[in-house]
């Protein structure tokens, strides 16, 4: 499922390795042999607010791409653009309208359904003191973990069901997006063993990682190498 290199010298991907959506874009490019120039935008250094980057993405968020003179933000839009331009294998974003609709349903749900509760836990436990100068509130963390578990249950019932991957029996962009969110969450002390309560998600995670490695692990290693003692701004 790893694509051969696709010749292009014009594509630039702007990313912060701490950003889950950024890693999803980078991973998709690597899996499909899409040649790109990576340009790191360090949110902790406010590089996303520079005049140069604001020209690329006026929303001042990552990820973003520049393809020739064409600039685009928003991770889901970027994935759809890359699928269309580089004509990637059908399983990533199916041509069949019903199969594609299932992937689109996850992509529409994931921002508030999975990403938001994952971020809520990380912000409370990891970034509360860094960003706000206050320690983690144990009761608030407990509440947010409860909401996260509710979201995990929905993820299982609505999207995984009895399938091997999100939405179908084949891996898609939905799996890449979901994995990048969950992997980062597992770095939180309170959530490092959370998948013991969700064996369906744990088994899915192993299947997806098996396909996406070694690229996935390379990006995770880069993420873990970042110093987390300075503020971090969330991404799109």
Q: Where are the beta strands (DSSP E) in the chain?
A: 11-15, 37-40, 64-67, 70-73
Task: Return d(Cα 41, Cα 92) in angstroms, integer.
Answer: 27
Handedness of CA 51, 55, 60, 64 (dihedral sign): negative
**Per-position pLDDT tens, the chain of length 236:** 555 555 445 899 999 999 999 999 999 999 999 999 999 999 888 999 999 999 999 999 999 999 999 999 999 999 999 999 999 999 999 999 999 999 999 999 999 999 999 999 999 998 777 666 788 899 999 999 999 999 999 999 999 999 999 999 999 999 999 999 999 999 999 999 999 999 999 999 999 999 999 999 999 999 999 876 655 444 45
Looking at CATH, the fold of the domain delimited by 97-213 is given as: Glutathione S-transferase Yfyf (Class Pi); Chain A, domain 2 (1.20.1050)
What is the value of pTM for the model shown? 0.91
Task: Name, in order, each residue with C-beta under 8 angstroms of 66's C-beta and a sequence gap of 6 or more.
Answer: 10, 11, 12, 14, 56
Domain ranges of the chain: 97-213
């Amino acid at each position: 499922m790893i694509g051969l290199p696709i010749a292009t010298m014009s594509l630039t991907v702007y990313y912060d390795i701490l950003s889950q959506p950024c890693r999803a874009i980078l991973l998709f490019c690597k899996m499909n042999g899409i040649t790109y120039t990576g340009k790191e935008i360090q949110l902790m250094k406010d590089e996303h607010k520079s005049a140069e980057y604001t020209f690329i993405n006026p929303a001042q968020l990552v990820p973003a791409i520049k393809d020739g003179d064409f600039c685009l933000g928003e991770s889901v839009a970027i994935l759809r653009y890359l699928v269309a331009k580089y004509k990637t294998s059908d399983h990533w974003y199916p041509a069949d309208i019903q199969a594609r609709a299932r992937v689109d349903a996850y992509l529409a749900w994931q921002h508030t359904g999975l990403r938001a509760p994952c971020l809520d836990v990380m912000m409370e436990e990891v970034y509360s003191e860094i960003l706000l100068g206050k320690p983690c509130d144990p009761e608030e963390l407990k509440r947010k973990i409860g909401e996260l578990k509710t979201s995990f249950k929905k993820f299982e019932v609505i999207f995984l069901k009895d399938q091997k991957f999100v939405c179908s029996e084949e891996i898609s962009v939905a799996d890449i997006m979901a994995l990048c969110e969950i992997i980062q969450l597992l770095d939180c002390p309170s959530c490092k063993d959370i998948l013991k309560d969700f064996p369906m998600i744990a088994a899915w995670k192993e299947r997806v990682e098996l396909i996406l490695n070694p690229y996935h692990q390379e990006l995770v290693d880069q993420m873990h190498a970042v110093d987390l003692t300075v503020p971090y701004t969330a991404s799109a």
